[in-house]
Amino acid sequence: MLKPLSRLSLVLVVVFTALLGAPALAQQAQPDLYVTVSYIKALPGQEAAYRSYLTTTGKKVYQELMAADANLVIWSAAQMMYQGMEHGSDFDFVGASVYAGPPPEPGANVDAVLMKAAGMSQADLGKKLATLRTIVGTEVLRYRAGTITPGVLREGDFRVIGRVRIKPGMADEYYGTAKEIGEPVMKARVAGGELKSWSVWSRIFPAGAGTSYDALTVTYFKDLASAIRGLDATKGVETFLKVHPGKSYAASVNNGRDYSELQQRFVMQVIALAERAK
């Protein structure tokens, strides 16, 4: 008999039945996971104050939002490192909210939640935040492949983001390869302790030829040194051959080059995290 599960555990068990060993759930509907991402620039002299807000009041707000919305499964705030000078990198913090199913409409009235978490109305909190930061961009993405498992991520983890441009006509090949070839390899590497988590997300809005990337790869490491070193190439070959016996590693690498091109890569540290209890 299936034991009672929290919303987060049920969602991820259904989505990742092969990973969690629950084939009996395979017949259930599999809700897509979506993430809304906000790119945030602290106002001059307010970076420390805004970071303090995120790690205290901001976290409480999202814990209460999670209690009010059964589809909100995890929220995190991360602080950028090594921003560089390139276009599209002028932000200090990244907020990400993962939902089971499409996210709610922006601007929904959550006064009751904010009064409980922050002791002020939505309008008043908005005014306070306007003195600390500005939102320079938002986007919505859909989960396509990965190793997501409840309870793995922690505050203090380091997140490496890759912005990927998919070559014309190659979207199906790119996401199919991520799911069928990349996901099993990355699951094995997570199990081996090389990294904490890996996932691929397709950009839903904004999208199109006028945008600079189509997909995000998201890789979590336990410390900055691991994030800077990256994954060991030799272990990558060994793991690929073990997971995909009879397949060509070189052909897989060449296919990846044919399907996509990395545009930018960033590293950031998770400073606040709220996750639905398992």
Domain that holds residue 248: 7-275
Which positions ≥6 away from 95 have C-beta within 8 Å?
A: 37, 38, 40, 54, 75, 76, 77
Q: Quick one: tokens of 60?
A: 């409480």
Query: What's the confidence (pLDDT) of residue 28?
Result: 59
1 located within any domain: no
DSSP string covering 128-165, please? HHHTTEEEEEEEEEEEEEE---TT---TT-EEEEEEEE
User: In 3-state terms, what secondary structure has residue 102?
Assistant: coil
pLDDT tens-digit readout, 191-219: 999 999 999 999 999 999 899 999 999 99
141 inside domain: yes
Q: CB of 267 within 8 A of CB of 255? A: no
Strands (E), the chain: 33-42, 72-81, 93-100, 133-146, 158-166, 197-205, 215-221, 260-275
> Is residue 11 scored above 50 in pLDDT?
no
205 occurs within a structural domain: yes
Contact 157, 196 (CB under 8 A): yes
Residues near 159 by Cβ (< 8 Å), separated by ≥ 6?
78, 218, 219, 220, 221, 267, 268, 269, 270
- Is the pLDDT at 143 greater than 80, yes or no? yes
Q: Which two tokens stand for residue 278?
A: 């398992």
Residue 61 lies inside a defined structural domain of this protein: yes
User: What distance lies between CA 154 and its chain's CA centroid?
Assistant: 13
Count of residues making up the chain: 278
Within-domain flag for 23: yes
Classify residue 83: in a domain, yes or no.
yes
The per-residue pLDDT for range 97-135, each reduced to its tens digit, is 999 999 999 888 999 999 999 999 999 999 999 999 999
Q: What is the pLDDT of residues 159-194, one digit of tens each?
A: 999 999 999 999 999 999 999 999 999 999 999 999
Express as a percent the part of the chain with pLDDT over 70.
Answer: 89
Query: How confident is the model at residue 108, as a pLDDT?
Result: 87
Q: Which tens digits make up the pLDDT trace of 15-41?
A: 333 333 433 434 456 689 999 999 999
CATH number of the domain to which 90 belongs: 3.30.70.100
pLDDT for 226: 97
On whether residue 239 sits in a domain, the answer given is yes
In single-letter form, the type of residue at position 236 comes to G
User: Cβ distance 183 to 146 under 8 Å?
Assistant: yes
Into how many domains does the chain fold? 1
Look over the chain and give the mean of its residue pLDDT values, rounded to a whole number: 90
Query: What local confidence, expressed as pLDDT, does residue 86 receive?
Result: 78
Tell me the CA distances in angstroms from 262 to 36, 65, 192, one per residue in order: 21, 35, 26
| pTM of the model as a whole | 0.87
Structure-token match 């897989």, residue found? 252
pLDDT at 254 over 60: yes
Tell me, what amino acid is at 274?
Answer: A
The predicted pLDDT at position 84 comes to 79
**216 located within any domain:** yes
